[in-house]
Chain A
Amino acid sequence: MSNMKSKEVQLAARPVGEPTLSDFQIAETDVANPGAGEFLVQNLWMSVDPYMRGRMMDRESYVPPFQIGETLQGGAVGVIIESNNENFAKGDYVNSMNGWREFYVTDGQMVNKLDPSMGPIEGNLGILGMPGMTAYAGLFKVGALKDGENVFVSAASGAVGAVVCQLAKAHGCYVVGSAGSDEKCKWLEEIAGVDKAINYKTCGDLDAAVRDAFPKGIDVYFENVGGAHLQAAINYMNPHGRAALCGMIEQYNDTSPRPGPNNLIQIVGKSLKLEGFIVSNHLDIIPEFYTEMAKLISSGKMKWEQTVETGIENAPQAFLNLFSGANFGKMLVKISDDPTK
C-alpha cells in the first residue's frame, strides 16, 4: 500500500427535497499501489451535474442509485501518475466516471484517454463531453432539427443549453433562450448570439414572453427546466413541433410530482411529439459531434462559460449551486493543479 490518501465525497443521507451539505460527508481512504495492468490517476477536474440528484434517490432509473456511505460517481478528468498498463502511460490524460475523489487505481476499463490538443482539458467535462453530446443528440436526433427552424431553449446559458443555442444558430435557426439572470441573458444575446433571451425570473408572464418572442411559433423545444416552461412551449409550438426532453431541473428536488402541463390536448391538434432522452442512447453521434464542434470552436462560433469551485471539499457546495442557479455555464470542481506541469 502506498502512503497516499485520497479524499472522497460520499452520500451521508438521501436528500429529501432540496439537498443540503449535511447530505454529504468527506472520507479519507488509502490509495493502493497499482498492481499488474493497473495505473494510478490523480483527478484534476470533476463535474457536478443536475442528473446526479436523481441518483441520490432510491428508485429505478437509467442509472442505479448511489448508496449511502459509498463514494459518489461522476465525470472527472485526471492525469496518470503511475502506470503498469501498456496502453496507458504516465502523463496521459484520462476521462472517467470516477469523480468525487482525488485519486483512483484502475485497470483502464471505462476510462478513456483524452487528446489535450483539443482545448482545455476540463472541456471534456462540458462542451466536448457529456453535456455537449447531450445538446447535439437532443437537437439533431430527438429534435430532428432542420436548418432555419425556430428553436426555444430553457436553461439556455447552462452547460447543455449554451451548446444547443449555438449549434442551432450555426444551422441558421431563429433561437430564443431562457435564463435566470440579466447577466446570463446578456451573455446569450451578445456572446452566444441567440436572437432573444428571456429572463424567466423577471419577465412576469412567461407564457406571454414566449408568445411574443416567437412570432412564427416554435418548431423545436429543448427542455431543461420543466413546469411552466413546458406548458408555454406547448402553447406556442407549431404543428409537427418536437420537444426534446433533456432535463427538468425545476422538479428534481420535489418530494411528490407537481402538476405538470395541462394543455396536452394541443399535442393532438398540432401533432406534437414529446420525447425524453439520455445521451447514452445516442452514442452513434460521437464522430459527427467532434467534427462539428471542432469546426465551430476553431472558427469562434462556439463559446462557453464555466463556474469553478476549488478543492474536493467544496464539491458538495458546487452541486448545490446547480439548483440555486448560482452557476454560470458548466459547473466544475477543480481538484488539483496539474502535477505534470
Chain B
Amino acid sequence: MPTINRRWVLASHPEGKPTLDTFRLEEVELADPAKHELLIQAKYFSVDPGMRSRLSGDSYAAALQPGEVIEGAMVGEVVQSNNEKFAVGDLVTGGFGWQSHTLSNGRGLAKLDANLFSGPLRATAAIGVLGIPGLTSYFGLSDIGKPKEGETVLISSAAGPVGATAGQIAKMQGCRVVGIAGSPAKCDYVTKELGFDACINYKDTDNLVDAIKAACPDGVDIYFDNVGGEMLDTAIANANERGRIIISGAVSEYNKPEPRGIRNTLQFITHRLCMEGLVVFDYFKQFRDAQAEMAGWIKDGKLIYTEDISEGIETAPAAFIGLFEGENFGRRLVKVS
C-alpha cells in the first residue's frame, strides 16, 4: 500500500528574513520499500538556525535549490523493513529533513542504542544534546576553548541548545560561567536550572560592553559565540589576553543581506586573541566517545537539556522563523507523529 509522505520543500530563496512563503508543503506518494529498503515514520525533526545560510547562499554545504526538502535531523521509527539490519519498531536517526516519511537503504541511518537511550535520555536527545548541537558544545569548548579551572567563560544564546550544554560543561571544568540571553525567564533558567554563575539579559541593558564587564570582573577568557555581529564585538572588547573565541553560529547575521561584522579587530593583536570556527563533523570519529561521556553526565544529573516542541509538521516553518526572534527555549523540535 503506498504511503503519503508530507514534506516541506524550499519554495523560493529568501532575501533577508525567511517568511512562510519561503516554504511549501507537498504530498508525494512513496512506493513500498524495495529489496534492502526500509520505511521510516518520523517522530520528530529539528529546525536549526544554521540552515538559514543554506536557504540562500553557499556555505560549507551547498545551497538548497527550490523544490528540495529542507534539511534537519530526524528521529523516527521503522514501520516497514526489507533490510536485515533494521527491524520494524526500531528507533532510528538520520539527516532526513522536514518530512513525515523516508525510504532508506540504511545508509546514513543509525539505530538508537537502547542502553544509551533510557531513563532521562529520551529518543529526542539523539537530535539534540547528543546530536549536532550538543556535540558542537562539547568539541567547541574542549578543542577550541580549552578551559582551565578558574577561567571565565561567556556564552551567548545561553538558553539555546548549544549554549546551555557548553555552559554546563564549562561549570564541570571549574570555570566561572556567564550567559547572555534575551528574557528574564531565560536568564532565570540559565542561572537557576543550568547553574551558570550569572546571566545578562541583553534586551534589558543599554551598554552590553559594561554589562559584560560587570558580570565578568576578571575579564573573558573564553567566549562561545552563537550570535555574531555586535554581540561578538562586545565580547572581544572584554576579552583577556590569550582569549579564545569559539564561533559556532551567527544567528544575528544570517538574515542580513549585508552583515554587520565586527569592528574590534585590533584587539586580536593587542590581546593575542584566537578566534576559530567549528564544523562539528570534523570530529566525527570522536562522536561516539563524546556521546557516551555526555550520556553519563545526563544520567548522573550533571547535565540537563530542555526541548521546545512544536506540535505538528504544519508548524515547521513558523517554528524555524521563530528561532530568529529568540522565541525558542532550548532545542526546538517539530513533533510529527
Say whether A associates with B. Answer: yes
Binding site for B on A (CB under 8 A): 54, 60-62, 226, 230, 239, 245-248, 251-252, 257-278, 281
- Whether A260 and B264, one on each chain, are in contact in the complex, defined by CB atoms closer than 8 angstroms, is yes
- Which chain A residues lie closer than 8 Å to B266 at the CB level? 226, 248, 251-252, 257
How long is the Cα–Cα vector from A115 to B118 in the complex, in angstroms? 71
User: Given A258-B263, A261-B265, A264-B250, A272 and B272 touching (CB < 8 A)?
Assistant: no
- Which chain B residues lie closer than 8 Å to A257 at the CB level? 263-266
Interchain Cβ contacts under 8 Å between A and B, 26 examples: A62-B270, A245-B268, A251-B265, A252-B266, A257-B266, A259-B261, A261-B265, A262-B253, A264-B250, A264-B253, A264-B259, A264-B262, A265-B228, A267-B247, A267-B276, A267-B277, A268-B60, A268-B247, A268-B248, A273-B274, A274-B268, A274-B275, A275-B273, A276-B270, A277-B269, A278-B272
- Whether B261 and A268, one on each chain, are in contact in the complex, defined by CB atoms closer than 8 angstroms, is no
| Cβ distance A201 to chain B, nearest Cβ, rounded Å | 21
- Which chain B residues lie closer than 8 Å to A247 at the CB level? 269
Q: Which residue of A lies closest to B267 (CB)?
A: A276
How long is the Cα–Cα vector from A274 to B53 in the complex, in angstroms? 21
B residues 208-250 in Cβ contact with A at 8 Å? 228, 232, 241, 247-250
Our pick among A54, A271, A281 for the contact of B277 (Cβ within 8 Å) is A271
- Which chain A residues lie closer than 8 Å to B282 at the CB level? 271
- Whether A276 and B277, one on each chain, are in contact in the complex, defined by CB atoms closer than 8 angstroms, is no
- Which chain B residues lie closer than 8 Å to A245 at the CB level? 265, 268-269
Our pick among A62, A230, A270 for the contact of B272 (Cβ within 8 Å) is A62
The yes or no answer to B8 lying at the interface (CB within 8 A) is: no
The yes or no answer to B260 lying at the interface (CB within 8 A) is: yes
| Cβ distance A227 to chain B, nearest Cβ, rounded Å | 8
- Whether A248 and B60, one on each chain, are in contact in the complex, defined by CB atoms closer than 8 angstroms, is no
- Whether A260 and B269, one on each chain, are in contact in the complex, defined by CB atoms closer than 8 angstroms, is no
User: Given A262-B258, A275-B273, A278-B272, A269 and B53 touching (CB < 8 A)?
Assistant: yes
How long is the Cα–Cα vector from A268 to B282 in the complex, in angstroms? 12
Taking A247-B269, A265-B250, A274-B276 as known contacts, 9 extra A-B pairs with beta carbons closer than 8 A to each other, sorted by chain A number, are A226-B265, A226-B266, A245-B269, A270-B60, A271-B282, A272-B277, A275-B273, A275-B274, A276-B272
The yes or no answer to B4 lying at the interface (CB within 8 A) is: no
| Cβ distance A226 to chain B, nearest Cβ, rounded Å | 6
| Cβ distance B276 to chain A, nearest Cβ, rounded Å | 4
B residues 262-302 in Cβ contact with A at 8 Å? 262-279, 282
- Whether B259 and A265, one on each chain, are in contact in the complex, defined by CB atoms closer than 8 angstroms, is yes
- Which chain B residues lie closer than 8 Å to A248 at the CB level? 265-266, 269
- Whether A62 and B241, one on each chain, are in contact in the complex, defined by CB atoms closer than 8 angstroms, is yes
The yes or no answer to B59 lying at the interface (CB within 8 A) is: yes
The 3 closest A-B pairs by CB, nearest first: A262-B261, A276-B268, A267-B277
B residues 46-61 in Cβ contact with A at 8 Å? 50, 53, 59-60
- Whether B59 and A269, one on each chain, are in contact in the complex, defined by CB atoms closer than 8 angstroms, is yes
- Which chain A residues lie closer than 8 Å to B260 at the CB level? 259, 262
- Which chain A residues lie closer than 8 Å to B50 at the CB level? 268
- Which chain A residues lie closer than 8 Å to B248 at the CB level? 268
How long is the Cα–Cα vector from A277 to B60 in the complex, in angstroms? 28
User: Given A62-B241, A257-B264, A265-B228, A274 and B274 touching (CB < 8 A)?
Assistant: yes
Q: Which residue of A lies closest to B232 (CB)?
A: A264
How long is the Cα–Cα vector from A274 to B258 in the complex, in angstroms? 21
How long is the Cα–Cα vector from A245 to B266 in the complex, in angstroms? 9
Q: Which residue of B lies closest to A242 (CB)?
A: B276
- Which chain B residues lie closer than 8 Å to A258 at the CB level? 263
Q: Which residue of B lies closest to A230 (CB)?
A: B265
| Cβ distance A236 to chain B, nearest Cβ, rounded Å | 13
User: Given A54-B270, A247-B269, A265-B250, A273 and B263 touching (CB < 8 A)?
Assistant: no
How long is the Cα–Cα vector from A98 to B258 in the complex, in angstroms? 47
- Which chain A residues lie closer than 8 Å to B232 at the CB level? 264
